[in-house]
Amino acid sequence: MSRFEDEPGDILQKARFGRALTPAEAAKLSGLPPATVVNLEALQLTFGPDHMALAKALGLNGEALLMLAEDEGLDVLLPSDVAAVRSPWSSWTYVWFGPEGAVVVDPAVPYRALERHLGGNPLVAVFVTHSHQDHLATYEMVAPHAGACYAHPDLAGTLGATPLAPGQAAAGLRSLLAPGHAEDGLVLYGEGVAFTGDALFARSAGRARTAADFRDVLESVRRILALPPATVLLPGHGPPTTVALERRLNPFYLI
C-alpha cells in the first residue's frame, strides 16, 4: 500500500479553499507572510512549529499536521478478508469477504483483475461510494457479474443500481451518508471495516466540491470517526487506517 495520500501543504490548501480564503487572507489571519502560505501549499516549505498559527486559523489540528511527517499509522494492515486492487487512477477497488459472501467496492479495474481475488466464489454485490470516474470506471463491466448493485439514491438511477438509503444494510454492509467531496457520497461499513471512498483518507479528507460543501466534509469526518475505535478504515486512495488513529491524528478532526 502507499504512503499517505496528502502532504501537510495539500491539507492546508483544502482547508483554506473550504473556508473561502485567499492565501493573502489566510496569511493575515495567521500573522504569516503570504509567501509562506503559498510555499507551504506548494510543498516548497515543510510545515513546522512556526506555522501552527496557520493551522489554527484554518480550523485544523496543528499537532496532527506536525505528526504527518512521522510514519505512525503506516503499519495498519489490510484485514485478512479484504483485497485491494489499484486502478489506473491510483484509487482502490476492494474485494471484501463479508458474512454474506464476496462484495466489490468501487469497481475501477476490469473484472478479470478481480477474479483471482474472488477465488471462484460468486460475487454477491457491488457497491459504489460516489460518482467520480476513478471509483466506478469499470462498473458496467463488473456489475453484470454481481447478484446486486448498490449506490446512493441520487446515483442509483444512473447506474441501474438499487438505492441504498442512509442506515440501510445490504450484503453485510450498512450505509452512512458522507457528502462534501461528492453530493452522492456514501461510506459502507460492516464487521470491523468501513469503506470510506474519498470522504476520509489516512490523516486527511476529500477535497470539498465548493467552499459551501466544506462543512459537509468535516461533518462526514466526524460521522465516520464515531464508528468503533478498532474499525479499519479503507479509503479510496492511500493506505488503510483505523478510527482510533484518525481520532488522534487526522488534522480535520477536532474534538
Domain ranges for the chain, please list them: 8-67, 82-249
Euclidean distance between CA atoms 173 and 187, whole angstroms: 9
Euclidean distance between CA atoms 88 and 102, whole angstroms: 23
Euclidean distance between CA atoms 66 and 83, whole angstroms: 31
- What is 82-249's CATH topology? Metallo-beta-lactamase; Chain A (3.60.15)
Euclidean distance between CA atoms 192 and 9, whole angstroms: 31
Q: What pTM was computed for the model?
A: 0.95
- What is 8-67's CATH topology? 434 Repressor (Amino-terminal Domain) (1.10.260)
In terms of phi and psi (left: phi > 0; alpha: psi -120 to 50; beta: otherwise), the region of 25 is: alpha
Q: What is the pLDDT along the chain (255 residues), one digit of tens a residue?
A: 448 999 999 999 999 999 999 999 999 999 999 999 999 999 999 999 999 999 999 999 999 999 987 777 788 999 999 999 999 999 999 999 999 999 999 999 999 999 999 999 999 999 999 999 999 999 999 999 999 999 999 999 999 999 999 999 999 999 999 999 999 999 999 999 999 999 999 999 999 999 999 999 999 999 999 999 999 999 999 999 999 999 999 999 986
